[in-house]
Structure 1
Amino acid sequence: MIRTPLVYNPRSGHGRMDPAALLARLPGEVRARLEPVPLELPFDYEPWIRQALAAGGPILVWGGDGTLHHAGAALAGLGLPVPLGAVPGGSGNGLVRGLRTPLDPAGAVLRLLEGRDLAMDLGRLDGAPFLNLCGTGFEAEVALAFDRAQGRGLRTYVRQCVGLWRRHREAGLRWEAERPAPEAPGRLERLRAAWRGPEPELPESAWSLCFANLPQYGSGLWIAPGADPADGLLSWVRLRRPGLFDILAEVPQLFREGGRTPLRQEGRLLRAVVRLDRPCPWHMDGEPAPARDRAEITVEKGAFPMRVTSDCPFR
């Protein structure tokens, strides 16, 4: 019997990945179907994608958003032959939180093996694929600093955020964008439009700017509450720099599902070219990307096969 690969990054999260402990919590017939595979940079996923295909898919990848980003890029490079099943094992777990996958790894494995496949949109930054989001400004500076930091976890992330909050400045923006046509005036569409409010104009500057396929950034931060990974659109989100009062009164709203705050401005687009007034760092799924002052953002509707659980709200 060809076993389904459970690929994991031993360095994800806090570096305490224990596949034996995970497998011990699974029924014997499930353990017999899985092959744990440790994989670190440079992440050669190809042989394990081919094994997953021979086993009938999916490929299970246990790790953080960066590990899953590299798995998604490898799948895209091979023509997306099998679905990706994302098992949470990182510090932020933005992708799996957005898909409502259980945060317990063993529970996630069980639910994903009995789950369904979602034809998820695939975002691209200058042609390079991303699964959850990409962005520039403050969040990209944080991703770069976090990547270089000693240690992982929420405490390290918060420390980097505080330091960059003090010194990061806005970038000016110029746009060429294609936006969605107004929705037909059905009852459901009117309710959605009332919830979202008027579609905002594209911003002329941003302290932090991201393009999101899913609602969560990671660690429970709802960066793009209106994002839907199966609608053929990306959400653009501009975050305003919070003042001291905002950190207490408004930032907590970003960590509440349905929370509203003037710090966050969100709209939708089909594609865009954005020009910045200076080269700035970017990130894809939290992984640092080269600095640039021009970026083309595109989305391929339904292009990426993602294995999800029955709790996933998207179709």
Structure 2
Amino acid sequence: MSARSAVLAIINPLSGTTSVAQKTLLRDTFLRQADASGFAAEAVLTTHPGHATELAAAAVAQSYSRVLAIGGDGTINETAQALRRSGTALGIVPIGSGNGLARHLGIPLNPLKAVERALTGRPVVIDSAEINEHPFFCTAGLGFEAYVAHAFAQQPVRGLPTYVRTAFRAYWAYRPGLFLLNGREERRLFSMTFANAGQFGNNAWMAPTANIADGYLEQCEMRPFPAQMAGMLAWRLFNKTLNRSAYWQGQSIKTATVQTEGPMLIHADGEPITLPNGRAEVRILPGSLLVLL
């Protein structure tokens, strides 16, 4: 009898607002369904930042066929980092605040259905990207969105309501900055997004036409706008029409550099990062990840 294909579930016990009991149900459901589907299954809870990357890297080294990331965008990012350019496919079970990559890929937001999809789905090749060697799979950016990511990370409670309140307060405190693009042109921008997937999460579409498997990133720039336009731009953001605004500009790129005077705040898949030297280098890694769809 041939050996059973191995599958690992990596569960972040702190992700989102899902209770411990619900996460236990997810783990038990995964183990039961994986066994019934003929897999040799294992489930592990993360205990510290970077643990998901360590666990996923070990699974790749042991030739696991599938690794499920059960958590938010940060857990998915940590897990996917180790799976790039390997034969191990990523299964996404979204239980976070935004779930941007899952939404873009059409993965069920019901965690039990997402577990089933991850166990029965087929591997599909997508792109990934890096900003200063920090991997991202959905979006990375600077300006206002990075300012909000840093403020949101300080909040004691996660979830969409907290994010909305944080973004509202940040809007009134934030001032657009000057950014030198590719060493040639300096622009004052409200924000700049490098989009592999089309949205941040919660169906906030910064790059409505982004294709996650075309070998390009969408570089999306928002120029400063009058305060009275904020409501309309927010409406466009959630209705996939922001790219029709006169304040939005986008182009497809493979690489880019951005510089500021002093340290630069950025985010990679919503995780806040500070670049002390004020220089961000971005590049696409075409066809570098297998995702189960």
TM bucket, shorter chain:
0.7 to 0.9
Q: How many angstroms does 1:243 deviate by?
A: 4.1
SS at match of 2:219: strand
Cα distance in 2, alignment partners of residues 81 and 58 from structure 1:
9
Task: Determine which of 278, 288, 291 is the counterpart of 1:303.
Answer: 288
Q: Is 1:53–1:81's contact at 8 Å kept on the other side of the alignment? A: no
Match of residue 128 from structure 1? 134
Match of residue 54 from structure 2? 46
Give me the TM-score of the superposition, normalised by structure 1: 0.80
Q: 1:4 to 1:151 in 2, by over 3 A?
A: same
Q: How many angstroms does 1:64 deviate by?
A: 0.7
Output aligned runs, 1:101-116, within 5 Å: 101-116=107-122
Match of residue 230 from structure 1? 213
* Equivalences, count: 283
Asked whether 1:19 is paired with 2:23, we answer yes
Output aligned runs, 1:117-156, within 5 Å: 117-156=123-162
Deviates more, 1:237-246 or 1:142-151: 237-246
Q: How many angstroms does 1:222 deviate by?
A: 0.4
SS at match of 1:163: helix
Task: Determine which of 69, 72, 76 is the counterpart of 1:68.
Answer: 76
Q: 1:84 to 1:116 in 2, by over 3 A?
A: same
Q: Is 1:69–1:130's contact at 8 Å kept on the other side of the alignment? A: yes
Q: How many angstroms does 1:241 deviate by?
A: 4.4
What letter matches 2:281 in structure 1?
E
Q: 1:47 to 1:277 in 2, by over 3 A?
A: closer
Match of residue 8 from structure 1? 11
Deviates more, 1:249-258 or 1:231-240: 249-258
Q: 1:26 to 1:175 in 2, by over 3 A?
A: closer
What letter matches 2:44 in structure 1?
V
Cα distance in 1, alignment partners of residues 155 and 31 from structure 2:
38
Give me the TM-score of the superposition, normalised by structure 2: 0.86
Cα distance in 1, alignment partners of residues 11 and 46 from structure 2:
6
Cα distance in 2, alignment partners of residues 203 and 12 from structure 1:
39
Q: Is 2:193–2:219's contact at 8 Å kept on the other side of the alignment? A: yes
Name stretches of at least 5 consecutive residues in structure 2 with no aligned partner: none
Cα distance in 2, alignment partners of residues 162 and 70 from structure 1:
28
Cα distance in 2, alignment partners of residues 71 and 92 from structure 1:
17
Q: How many angstroms does 1:51 deviate by?
A: 4.0
Q: How many angstroms does 1:27 deviate by?
A: 9.8
Match of residue 252 from structure 2? 268
Q: How many angstroms does 1:47 deviate by?
A: 4.0
SS at match of 1:91: coil
Q: How many angstroms does 1:125 deviate by?
A: 1.0
Deviates more, 1:218-227 or 1:38-47: 38-47
Deviates more, 1:88-97 or 1:28-37: 28-37
SS at match of 1:221: coil
Name stretches of at least 5 consecutive residues in structure 1 with no aligned partner: 178-201, 310-315
SS at match of 1:204: strand
- Deviations, residues 27-57 of structure 1 (Å, cap 9, x unaligned): 9543554433211322324345444675742
Cα distance in 2, alignment partners of residues 203 and 96 from structure 1:
35
Q: 1:21 to 1:272 in 2, by over 3 A?
A: same
